Amino acid sequence: MDLSVGTPVDPVPPVVRKALASAADSPGYPATHGTARLREAAAGWLARRHGVRVDPAAVLPVIGSKEIVSSLPLLLGCGPGDAVVHPELAYPTYGVGARLAGADAVAADGLASLGPRRVRLVWVNSPANPTGRVLPATHLRKMADWVRERGAVLAADECYLELGWEDRPQSVLHPDVCGGSFEGLLGVYSLSKRSNLAGYRAGFVTGDPALVASLLEIRRHAGMMMPGPVQAAMAAALADDAHADRQRAVYQARRARLRTALTGAGWQIDNSEAGLYLWASRPGLDCWGGVQALAEAGILVAPGDFYGPAGNHHIRLAFTATDERIDAAAARLADLPQS
């Protein structure tokens, strides 16, 4: 049972596949800025589902959220001597992006600890990967104020925004956080998890209109454009909430089964209030001990230190596997010794 990677396994929604097929005759170059329909669909989704109102002109499609995470420091002009800050427990691509630009990747959860560093970009990830932690609006607001005081950029990776289970995640672009101004703020979004479109590479970035315009100009010259049929599929996915609600219910049921089985086997679940993972620990085991214990039962999980030294005593389990595999993992967990 491979629960180590959060890759979608459920079918692509029919409404999305139909839109992709209908746009298949697409011989011309696609627009880097995306079609008006796509930008309006993205803005409509943010307003309808998350209370965030952006100008569709400030929406920019990206080739999956991983692409913009890895390229944003370079696109913003970060370089030697500049600090790109990311959470202490984080998706590794934040640090990779900083290094590709020649900047310093700095892991820090407290901005006050950064001292006189020349900070150009701060990444925040809420709901977080790997922990599933949701940051309150007050914390996000303090981060927004901090970057504005220093002329830096706060980029929020919000690809799990619709997957809150215990707490309702809030976007950094929500009025309660940004105070009605997107200055210095960017939000990054993905349809990989919401709509099972990991194979389509479909995401977008929005926020500060001046920053988005700058990104658009560079990406246009660099040829960083989403294929036309994928733009059509993405627009259809963003305009349809029914399939997302059905998929959310599927994940919620899988999460409940796996969580019950883990706790029954003596594991402690920490954070994990949102997203597609359970962040778990067990007394007496470091992360590799936990990986080994579960591997011996045929369950493959990710060691916490993949995401930073602070994860040394945790493992991450994805509940994106099929119902059959989740049920099989739960049955194996039930057979494990309690100590």
240-283 pLDDT, tens digit each: 999 999 999 999 999 999 999 999 999 999 999 999 999 999 99
Last residue of a domain, one of 240, 260, 280: 240
Predicted confidence band of residue 116 (pLDDT cuts 50, 70, 90): confident
On the question of pLDDT at 339 being above 80, the answer is no
Last residue of a domain, one of 240, 265, 281: 240
Residues 285-335 pLDDT 10s: 999 999 999 999 999 999 999 999 999 999 999 999 999 999 999 999 998
Mean pLDDT, residues 233-244: 98
Predicted confidence band of residue 338 (pLDDT cuts 50, 70, 90): low
User: Residue 231 is part of a domain; what is its CATH number?
Assistant: 3.40.640.10
> 115 with 232, same domain?
yes
d(CA 265, CA 338): 6
Predicted confidence band of residue 337 (pLDDT cuts 50, 70, 90): confident
User: Residue 257 is part of a domain; what is its CATH number?
Assistant: 3.90.1150.10
Residues 199-232 pLDDT 10s: 999 999 999 999 999 999 999 999 999 999 999 9
On the question of pLDDT at 115 being above 90, the answer is no
Give me the pLDDT at residue 113, please. Answer: 84
Give me the pLDDT at residue 167, please. Answer: 77
Within-domain flag for 234: yes
Last residue of a domain, one of 240, 264, 299: 240
pTM over 0.85: yes
Residue 304's domain comprises 243-334
On the question of pLDDT at 127 being above 60, the answer is yes
